[in-house]
Amino acid sequence: MTTKAREFNRALYLTGVMLLISADAQAGLTGQLEATLESNNSQFDSESSLEERLDLFYQNVDDGLSANLSLVMAQQSGNDEAELYQLYLQQDMNDSADQISLGRFFRADTLGYYSLDGVQYRHRADKLIMSLYAGVPGRIEAFRSIDADTLYGVNLQTLPVYIIDYEMDANLGWQRLEQDSHEQRYHFGWRANSDNETNRPLPAAVSMSASYVEESSQWEAVQIKTRWDLEEDDTLRIDYETYEPASNELSFRDQFYSLYARGNQTQFKAAYQFDYDYQQTWSMAARRVNREYGGSGYAGVLAVEQRSSKGLLFAVKAEQLKLQSERVASLFLDVDKTLGPSVRGGVSGVIQQQQKQLVGDNRSLGIELYLEHMVSVNALPSDLHFNFTASHIWNSRLEDEYRMLLSLGYSFGGAKQGMLQ
C-alpha cells in the first residue's frame, strides 16, 4: 500500500470516528467501532497485533439513499496498515424496484468472498431479480484472493414459488475475469423445501449448485445437499461437495481437524441426528474426503448435546480419522453458559492423539476460554461490548501454541457486532 493510500484511509478513519462521536444527532446513521488486541505464537514466533475496525452505515428511507464505510487500521511487528474494506453509495429507485451501488463493496459467490471496486445494478420484477456488476476485484484479509484485473457478470434469481408442496427458487449467472488472458464462468443453483409430512419418503429439502469454467472445461464448487425428516425427531442429511477453503484463518477446533486442508477437495458426508427430548440431541456422521494436498481419507463422528433451562449447553464429540497412513483420534468437550442477560462464557477442550509420517506419535491437549459481555448505555441507543478469548495447546512432539485476544467495541443505532453491510 502506498503512503498516500495509507494516509487517505487514516483520514477516513478519523472522519468516521468523529461521526461516531456525534452520532446521536445524526438521523439514519448506525455504526460500530471495535479495537482488538491479539497475542499468539501460531507462526512459531511470538507476536502481538492491534486492530481497530470502523463500520458506518447511513440510510435515508424517504430518499432511498444509503452509504457504507468499513475500514481497518492494524499495527503489527512495527508495521502500520490502513485497509479500506467498503466505501459505497447505494440508491433505490422506482419504489425499490431498481437499485444501483457505486464504490467498493463486498461480494460473495462461487469465486469466494471479495471486494469489488465498481458498480452494481439490481432490478426486481414480480418473480425475478436481475443483477449486473463490473469492476476490479480485491482481496479481503484472511480470505482467498482473486487474481484478475477486471471482473464483470450478470446474475438472475427467481423469487420463491410453490410447486407440488415444495417452495422452490433458482439462480443462474455468468462471470468473466480478465487479466493477461480471460476466464468465463457459468454458475447455477436450485433449492426446494417442504413442510408437508406426506412427502416423508422424499427429501424434505434439496439444494444443488455448481460453477463451470469454460476455458478448462471443469466443474467447480459443486454442492448437492439433501435432508430427510424420517420421523418427528429423526433427521438424515446426505451431502456431496467440491470446494476450496476460502479462509486462511483456523479456529480453535480447526487446528485439530486433520481433514482441514488448503487446495481443492471433494467430500461425501452422511449424518444422522436424533432428538431424544427437547434438551438432548444425539448425532453421528461419516465422511469421505479426497484432497489435492495432504492425502485423502475417512472420518467418523459421534456426538451428544445436552441443554438446560438455565442456559447451560454441554457437548461431547468423539472423532476418528484415517488419512492414508496417518491416524488421528480426538475427544472434544464444549461447555457454554449464559451467565446473565448480557453475559455469556464458555470453555472448550480437546484431547488428541496423532500418528503422522513427519511428526510421529504426537499427543495434544488444548483448552480455550471465552467471555462475552454486553453493556447497554442508559438513555442512548448504543452498546458497549467486551470479548476475551484465551487458548493454549500442549504438544508432546511439537512446540506448544497459545493465543490471547481482547476486544472492546462500541456500537450505536442498532448496529450489530462485526456487522458487514
**Mean pLDDT throughout 236-244?**
88
> Is 138 contained in some domain?
yes
Residue 335 counted as domain residue:
no
Phi, psi at 156, each rounded to 5°: -120, 130
pLDDT digits (tens, 9 = 90+) for 24-38: 445 578 888 899 999
Distance separating alpha carbons of residues 382 and 162, to the nearest angstrom: 42
Q: What is the CA radius of gyration of the chain?
A: 24
d(CA 254, CA 243): 16
Residue identified by cell 482488538 is: 36
Residue 125 within any structural domain of the chain = yes
Spatial distance between the Cα atoms of 56 and 72, rounded to a whole number of angstroms: 12
Q: Does residue 106 sit within a domain? A: yes
Structure confidence at residue 45 (pLDDT): 65
Of the two residues 264 and 11, the one the predictor is more confident about is 264
pLDDT for 380: 55
Cα–Cα distance measured from residue 301 to residue 318, given in angstroms and rounded to the nearest whole number: 6
Under 8 Å between Cβ of 20 and 397: no
Q: Which three three-digit cell numbers place residue 368?
A: 480455550
The residue-averaged pLDDT of 100-123 equals 90
Kindly report the average pLDDT of the chain as a whole number: 83
Determine the Cα–Cα distance for residues 118 and 136; give it in Å rounded to an integer: 6
> Percent of the chain at pLDDT above 70?
82
Beta-carbon-side half-sphere exposure of residue 394 (alpha carbons within 13 Å): 4
Q: How far is CA 323 from the centre of its chain?
A: 26
pTM for this prediction:
0.79
Give the three cell numbers for residue 332.
472434544
110 in Cβ contact with 211 (< 8 Å): yes
**CA torsion through residues 212, 213, 216, 222, sign:** negative
* 311-322 tens-digit pLDDT: 899 999 999 988
Instruction: Convert 14-38 to b/e letters by CB count within 10 Å (16 or more is b).
Output: eebeebbeebeeeeebbbbbbebeb
Position 153 pLDDT exceeds 70: yes
Tell whether 243 is covered by a domain. Answer: no
The percent of residues in the chain predicted with pLDDT above 90, rounded, is 42
Rounded to the nearest angstrom, the gap between the alpha carbon of residue 66 and the centroid of all alpha carbons in its chain is 24
Q: How sure is the predictor about 17, in pLDDT bands with cuts at 50, 70 and 90? A: low
User: What is the predicted pLDDT for the residue at 85?
Assistant: 87
Residue 254 pLDDT exceeds 80? no
Task: Give the Cα separation of 61 and 236 in Å (integer).
Answer: 44
**Lowest-confidence range among 15-29, 76-90, 169-183?**
15-29
Answer with the residue of higher pLDDT: 382 or 282.
Answer: 282
Question: What pLDDT score was predicted for residue 354?
Answer: 87
For 116, the grid coordinates are: 469489488
In a domain, 110, yes or no: yes
The total number of structural domains that make up the chain: 1
Specify the range with the lowest mean pLDDT, choosing from 148-152, 226-230, 289-293, 343-347. 289-293
Q: What is the pLDDT of residue 418?
A: 37
At 421 the pLDDT is 34
What's the rounded mean pLDDT across residues 386-403? 91
* Bridge partners, residue 260, by sequence: none
Q: Which of 119-123, 136-140, 274-278 has the lowest mean pLDDT?
A: 136-140
Sign of the torsion angle spanned by Cα atoms 252, 258, 259, 265: positive
Express each pLDDT in 338-347 by its tens digit: 888 889 999 9
φ, ψ dihedrals at 286, nearest 5°: -140, 145
What is the full DSSP assignment across 316-339? Answer: EEEEEEEETTEEEEEEEEEEEEEE
Mean pLDDT over 237-242 rounds to 93
Residue 264 lies in a domain: no
Q: How far apart are CA 132 and CA 123, in angstroms?
A: 9
Looking at per-residue pLDDT, the higher value among 289 and 174 belongs to 174
Most confident of 37-51, 351-365, 387-401: 387-401
For residue 68, list its beta bridge partners.
57, 88
Q: What is the DSSP letter of 28?
A: T
Q: Is the pLDDT of residue 420 over 60?
A: no
Which of 25-39, 184-198, 336-350, 392-406 bottoms out in mean pLDDT, i.e. has the lowest?
25-39
3-state secondary structure of 86: strand
Considering the domain boundaries, does residue 273 fall inside one?
no
Section 298-322 average pLDDT: 92
Give me the mean pLDDT over the 196-207 stretch.
77
Contact 418, 393 (CB under 8 A): no
Query: Which domain does 123 fall in, by range?
Result: 94-197+204-227
